[in-house]
Amino acid sequence: MQALLALSRAIDRLNAFIGKYSIWLIFAATLVSAVNAIIRKVFDFSSNGFLEVQWYLFAWSFLIAAGFTLLHREHVRIDVVNSRLSKKTQVWIDIIGFAFFLTPLCVTILYLSWPVVMQMYTSGEMSGNPGGLIRWPVWAAIPVGITLLMLQGISELIKRIAFLTGDGPDPMGKLSDKSAEQELAEVLRAEAERKEAEAAAAMAAPAKH
């Protein structure tokens, strides 16, 4: 189980890193949009390529951040019933969802999308719009994003199984952006402060008598 938890932590770090920097794709799309608008107004010129670049950037940011979104439990959940169940039941629902719904769906999407990406890559298919771009780069976002989502689903599955076996913390607990080292330092600091307070109270007690 410890080896699986190490794998889970590695997947979490990967999606956390990708999610943290995927915001730059949104910034790039916004910048392209602004430049396109300025060029169109000032020089009376535009191209479908500018519009498709925005589409490509948004598609990549949306898809590759899916694993990061799952890591932070930000996907839409219907908790009207689930929130009333016991923690163990909630964990079992997640296990069933990850194992029998999310993972098979991701595998199916990968199976169907990869041949399309390869066909577009080998054929060099271009957009049908005048001034459009080559198609395979945006289609490649599908298998990449779905792979990251599937990996995060596996990580979440490991964490929930570890919780049920007593080998891991509550996977539904509050998330923290701090590293394990930072959290450990804070725990040790709090423990030291508690001991100092107890020692000060013990020294003050005889003085009162």
pLDDT of residue 187: 57
Task: Tell me the domain boundaries of the chain.
Answer: 2-175, 180-209
DSSP string, the chain: -HHHHHHHHHHHHHHHHHHHHTHHHHHHHHHHHHHHHHHHHHHS---HHHHHHHHHHHHHHHHHTHHHHHHTT-S---HHHHTTS-HHHHHHHHHHHIIIIIHHHHHHHHHHHHHHHHHHHHHT-B-SSTT--BSHHHHTHHHHHHHHHHHHHHHHHHHHHHHHTTSS--TTSPP-SS-HHHHHHHHHHHHHHHHHHHHHHHHHHHHH-
What is the predicted pLDDT for the residue at 207? Answer: 56
The whole-model pTM stands at 0.75
pLDDT value of residue 107: 96
pLDDT of residue 156: 93
Q: Encode the chain (209 residues) as per-residue pLDDT tens digits.
A: 788 889 999 999 999 999 989 989 999 999 988 888 888 888 887 788 888 899 899 999 989 999 999 998 887 777 777 778 788 888 898 899 999 999 999 999 999 999 999 999 999 888 888 888 889 999 999 999 999 999 999 999 999 999 888 888 878 765 555 544 455 556 567 777 777 777 777 777 665 55
Supply the pLDDT for residue 180: 46
